Amino acid sequence: MLEHEEPLNAYLEKTSDTESELLKRINRETYLRETMPHMLSGHFQGRVLAMLAKLVKPKSVLEIGTFTGYATLCLAEGLDREGMLHTIDINEELEERVKGYFDASPFREQIRYHIGDAAEIIPTIAGNFDLVFIDADKRRNLYYFEALIDRVSSGGLILIDNVLWKGKVLMDNPDNQTKKVIELNETLAKDSRVEKLILPIRDGLFVLRKK
């Protein structure tokens, strides 16, 4: 982290809405119990996700990559009263704890938590989506985008995390994983089906609006 980033992030959090007590608990327990806690969206990005969801007011949300459920609950804040959020993760070891977080939230009846390979689960979920958040295996991001673009409603959002890849997208000789991120970004930049921009928050959030 650059010298100025930590105080800047603290300032952004200070001037945003506060986390709920449940989100604070998930944040704290993730950093205490997980080996890669930086995968958590965190306070500021969580408020960004919640704000975008509230602007869309989605009836149907798909999240690929649940981790400990922090971003899931942020996205759920924007759900339509009758809306449903499907979230998919491959790590069954977290299932019991994450279910506990969802059950402790006001959205317990609006979240469907799927464990398994997203490529196999997505076709089993019926209907279109108003909002999609992709935060899983970076090598498959373009696959997920192509698999879902025709199932996103006009005016709906597709959000893709980690698209700046710790600044490695600017490297002269990128490694193979970084090349995948660069390929994704360049492909999406040319895609006429969506309006797009990258928000340079945390590790970069691609915001794509279906035309």
List per-residue pLDDT tens for the chain, 211 residues long.
445 678 888 999 999 999 999 999 999 999 999 999 999 999 999 999 999 999 999 999 999 999 999 999 999 999 999 999 999 999 999 999 999 999 999 999 999 999 999 999 999 999 999 999 999 988 899 999 999 999 999 999 999 999 999 899 999 999 999 999 999 999 999 999 999 999 999 899 999 999 9
Domains of the chain: 5-210 (3.40.50.150)
CB 163 within 8 A of CB 181: yes
HEC readout, 19-68:
CCHHHHHHHHHHHHHCCCHHHCCHHHHHHHHHHHHHHHCCCEEEEECCCC
In the chain, the amino acid numbered 177 is Q
For the chain, the farthest-separated pair of C-alpha atoms sits apart, in whole angstroms, at 48
Rounded to whole angstroms, how far apart are CA atoms 30 and 101? 12
CA 180 to the chain's CA centroid: 18
- The two structure tokens encoding residue 113: 């938590």
